[in-house]
Amino acid sequence: MRKVFHVSGRKKTSQVELIDDNSVVVDNERHSYSFERLADGTFMFFLDGRGFSIVDLRSMGMNEGEIGESGEILLVDGHEFSLTVDDEQSLLLKSLLQSQAPSSASVTIRAPMPGLVTKIEVSVGQQVNTGDGLLILEAMKMENEVRCPEKGTVKEIHVGPQTPVEKGSPLITIEH
């Protein structure tokens, strides 16, 4: 049985096929690798002879709300990557689910850190543009203004003033 995966992230999707214990084909190019687990749970990874250090952050309990079941969060030489890894089954399942979902496009802005909502600067129904201030989140002695990532209409406000929020909590939903 062929082991084929689709890996998405950084605005790109690649097709990865595991051939054997030391070779892999990525987008039709063959690469050699080795993968070695170290005592501290990190990995030493060689790809085409170049060495990389890999940390599996997901297995260490780190998971951003957005990543979901098929997501992987890893460090490559200290740099963080969040990638979605699907095999052919899970891809099929996803496309089926997507075709049944309603088509309205909305985006929910989530808290980038735990903190205290100190002020809400918009109201439901309001038109907002990219860069507009939405609310103030206080954390680490700083007041941080959460700004609007894209143009739209405020559909829902999930928090009130003085609400303490966790990282990843929904704050405001914008509808296009």
Partner 1 sequence: MTTKRQIKRLLIVNRGEIAIRVIRACKEMGITSVALFSEPDRTSLHVQAADEAYPLDGVSAKESYLNQEKILRIAEQAQVDALHPGYGFLSENGSFVERVEQAGFLFVGPSSRAIRAMGDKTSARRIAKSLGIPIVEGTIEPLNSEREGVEIASKIGFPVLIKAAAGGGGKGMRVVQSVEEFSSSFRMAQSEARNAFDDDRVYVEKYVQNPRHVEIQILGDHYGHVIHLGERECSIQRRHQKVIEESPSPIVDDKLRRAMGEAAVMAAKEAGYSNAGTIEFLVDANRNFYFLEMNTRLQVEHPVTEWVTGIDLVKAQLQIAMGEPLPWKQEDIRFTGHALESRIYAEDPRNNFFPSTGTLHIYTTPEGPRVRVDNGFRKGDLISIHYDPLLAKVVTFGSSRHEAIETMKRALSEFIVGGVRTTIPFCEFVLSHEEFRAGSFDTHFVSRTFSASELDRAEQGLLLPAIVASVLLKTSQGSILPQLNHVEKGSHSLWKKRREETYRPS
Q: Which of residues 2-41 bind partner 1 (CB under 8 A)?
A: 3, 5, 7, 9-12, 14, 16, 18, 21-22, 24, 26, 31-40
Cβ count near 176 (within 10 Å): 11
State in angstroms the smallest separation of the CB of 138 from partner 1: 8
Q: Are 171 and 136 in contact (CB under 8 A)?
A: no
Q: Which of residues 116-135 bind partner 1 (CB under 8 A)?
A: 118, 133
From 75-83, 95-103, 122-130, 153-161, span contacting partner 1 (CB under 8 A): 75-83
Q: Are 129 and 148 in contact (CB under 8 A)?
A: yes
Give one DSSP letter per residue of 122-149, joined into a string: --TT-EE-TT-EEEEEEETTEEEEEE-S
Q: What CA–CA distance (Å, rounded) separates 45 from 41?
A: 13
Q: Residue 104 or 112: which CB sits closer to partner 1?
A: 112
State in angstroms the smallest separation of the CB of 34 from partner 1: 5
From 52-60, 92-100, 101-109, 154-162, span contacting partner 1 (CB under 8 A): 52-60
Q: Give yes or no for residue 107 binding partner 1 (CB under 8 A).
A: no
Q: What CA–CA distance (Å, rounded) separates 30 from 53?
A: 21
Q: Residue 96 or 140: which CB sits closer to partner 1?
A: 140
